[in-house]
């Protein structure tokens, strides 16, 4: 067979093996041979031959007590590598664009840096009066909705220094004068699942609400924020705007491999 023909037709045995792996992945649990064969639409004897090779490669493992098959360590490692290589920023840009279209408010995407949270992209709504967001500038931790969300979910060792600087320099909100008060505020944010700021935001006449985005390790990776003219957004937990924000953050988290309890 020529190289050209080989390239067009591929390797059939590899495709068969992949169909078995797909069946096991869809099953979401360890499976008996007969169940794998049925899901892959092939005789059990044929499925068994492929499973033997997949076990040797580390893609599948078998429990000697139950005889059930499950994805092996190499398959799990491949999955983690694939998740880690996902372009989270590219996916985040799509998420804030879709959210902007859904709620017609300014949306933005932020990451964490050594100097605090930084907005990397924002999307303008279709409104006569809008709020512009400056990209590339580190925001306050306690004075911004984005900062509060990051600080609520990041380990305190990553945020304590910046928070103490804000408190000691007088740049923290008026009702925050100690680390204990800051911890109380951040615990409330974490319990609520998002951070709204209206009346007393870092920029007068502006309000914002932010929600966390998690990665496959269930660690905070990004923050999505809505920004508007003060009084223009319904900031209540049951408002359609807040619901859409949280839905967008959760959807992006799941795309990045995060898992949530039922």
Question: Do 47 and 170 lie in a common domain?
Answer: no
DSSP state, 65?
A: T
The dihedrals phi and psi of 254, each to the nearest 5 degrees, come to -65, -35
Which of 80-94, 159-173, 226-240 shows the lowest mean pLDDT across its residues? Answer: 80-94
Same structural domain for residues 113 and 237? yes
Q: Does pLDDT of 83 surpass 70? A: no
With respect to residue 262, please indicate whether it lies within any of the assigned structural domains: no
Average pLDDT of the chain, as a whole number: 87
pLDDT in tens, 84-130: 666 888 899 999 999 999 999 999 999 998 889 999 899 988 876 66
Cα separation, 235 vs 88, in Å, equals: 27
Residue whose structure tokens are 């909100």 = 173
Task: Please give the helix or strand (H or E) that residue 122 lies within, else none.
Answer: strand 116-123
- CATH value at residue 39: 1.10.10.10
Instruction: Evaluate whether residue 260 is within a structural domain.
Output: no
Instruction: Give me the phi and psi of 81, to 5 degrees please.
Output: -65, -45
Q: How many domains does the chain have?
A: 2
> Full-prediction pTM beyond 0.85?
no
55 and 161 assigned to the same domain: no
Contact 130, 105 (CB under 8 A): no
Q: According to the model, what pLDDT value does residue 233 have?
A: 85
Same domain, 186 and 232: yes
3-class secondary structure, 60: strand
**Same domain membership, residue 136 and residue 68:** no
Structural domain for 19, as ranges: 3-83
Query: For residue 85, what pLDDT is reported?
Result: 63
The first and second tokens of residue 66, run together, are: 């139950």
91 with 255: CB under 8 angstroms?
yes
Beta-bridged to residue 207, according to DSSP, are 228
């Amino acid at each position: 067979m020529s190289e050209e023909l080989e390239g067009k037709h591929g390797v059939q045995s590899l495709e068969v093996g992949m169909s078995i792996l797909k069946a096991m992945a869809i099953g979401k649990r360890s499976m008996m041979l007969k169940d794998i064969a049925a899901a892959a639409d092939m005789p059990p004897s044929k499925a068994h031959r492929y499973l033997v090779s997949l076990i040797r490669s580390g893609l599948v493992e078998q429990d000697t007590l139950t005889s059930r098959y499950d994805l092996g360590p190499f398959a799990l490692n491949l999955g983690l590598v694939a998740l880690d290589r996902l372009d989270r920023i590219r996916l985040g840009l799509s998420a804030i664009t879709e959210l902007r279209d859904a709620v017609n408010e300014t949306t933005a995407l932020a990451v964490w840096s050594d100097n605090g949270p930084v907005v990397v992209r924002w999307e303008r709504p279709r409104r006569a009066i809008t709020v512009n967001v400056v990209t590339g500038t580190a925001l306050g931790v306690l004075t911004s909705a984005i900062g509060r969300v990051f600080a609520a979910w990041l380990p305190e060792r990553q945020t304590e220094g910046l928070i103490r600087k804000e408190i000691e320099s007088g740049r923290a909100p008026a009702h925050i004068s100690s680390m204990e008060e800051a911890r109380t505020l951040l615990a409330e944010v974490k319990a609520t699942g998002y951070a709204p700021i209206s009346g007393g935001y870092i920029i007068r006449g502006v309000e914002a609400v932010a929600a966390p985005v998690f990665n496959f390790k269930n660690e905070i990776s990004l923050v999505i924020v809505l920004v508007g003219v003060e009084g223009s957004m319904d900031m209540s937990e049951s408002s359609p705007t807040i619901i859409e924000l949280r839905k967008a953050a959760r959807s992006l988290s799941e795309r990045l491999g995060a898992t949530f309890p039922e």
